Amino acid sequence: MILNNMIQAQNINYDFISHDNQIKILQGLNLSIVAGEQVAIVGSSGSGKSTLLSLLAGLDVPTSGCIQIKNSPFSNLDEDGRAAVRAATMGFVFQSFQLLPSLTALENVMLPLQLKNQPNAKALSLEALNNVGLSARVQHYPKQLSGGEQQRVAIARAFATQPAILFADEPTGNLDNTTGQMIIELLFNMNMEAGTTLVLVTHDIQLAKRCQRQLKLENGVLTELTHSIELSQ
C-alpha cells in the first residue's frame, strides 16, 4: 500500500511574548499524517493541543518551521491563501458548536457550501442533515435545538463539504456522557464512510483510543503513544 501524506509538519516552533517574556508553546514538533488516517492528540489543559490544531488548520502560523497539506506549502501562504486551502480541503467540529444563531440548521449547513459557490448546496445540506438524523429539524434555529442536536448540525456542516481533512476539537466537551457517546459514534461512523483524514484533539484517553494513532503533547513536545497504519479501505 502506498501511503500519501495529507499533513506534514516539520520542526514547528510556536511562541509568544507575554509581559516581555517569551513563552514557548511548541518546540521542534514534527508530525506526519497520511490520507485516511485517524489521529488523536491528547494532553492536559494548556498543553497546546488547540494551538497545534490551529496551526495545522492554518488559523495561525508557526513562529518557525513549515506545514504542508497534500505535499504542498501551506503555512507560508498568506491568510487568503490558507483560507482557500481550508475551504477546499478541511471541515471542523468544535466544542462550542460554532453555529450562527440567526440561521436555521439547514442554513448553517449550507453556508460553507454557498461560500464555495456549490450549485447544489441545499440538496447536499439536506442529505447531510438526514445522515445525522435531523431531517425533521432543518428549519429549527440553534436555540430550538438541544446541545446534542446542535453538535449533529455541526457534524453535518463539516461533512457536507466532503472535506479531505476533518479537525475535531473536544467535540463532546459541552455534552453529557450519554449524548457525547452518541455524537462520537456518529462522528466515527461518518468519518469511516467518507474516508476522511481525522485529527481529533481531546483530553479523553478513552476517546483517543478510538483513533488509529494517539499522540501526547506535553511541555511543547509531541510523542507517539501508539502507531497503527492499518487504514480502513
For 191-208, how does the pLDDT look when each residue is reduced to its tens digit (9 = 90+)? 999 999 999 999 888 889
How does pLDDT run along the chain (233 residues), one tens digit per residue?
445 899 999 999 999 877 778 888 899 999 999 999 999 999 888 788 989 999 999 999 999 999 999 999 999 999 999 999 999 999 999 888 899 999 999 999 999 999 888 889 999 999 999 999 999 999 999 999 999 999 999 999 999 999 999 999 988 888 888 988 999 999 999 999 999 999 999 988 888 999 999 999 988 889 988 544 333 33
| pLDDT at residue 3, as a whole number | 59
200: β partners: 40, 168
Residue 226 confidence (pLDDT): 56
Q: What is the mean pLDDT of the chain?
A: 90
| CATH architecture assigned to 5-226 | 3-Layer(aba) Sandwich (3.40)
Q: Give residue 233's pLDDT.
A: 32
Give the CA distances from residue 225 to residues 55, 109, 204, 218, in Å, rounded to whole numbers and listed in that order: 21, 35, 14, 12
Query: How does 123-158 read in b/e, with b if 16+ C-beta sit within 10 Å?
Result: ebbbebbebbebeebbebbbeebebbbbbbbbbbbb
pTM: 0.88
Residue among 233, 180, 155, 204 at smallest CA distance from 40: 204
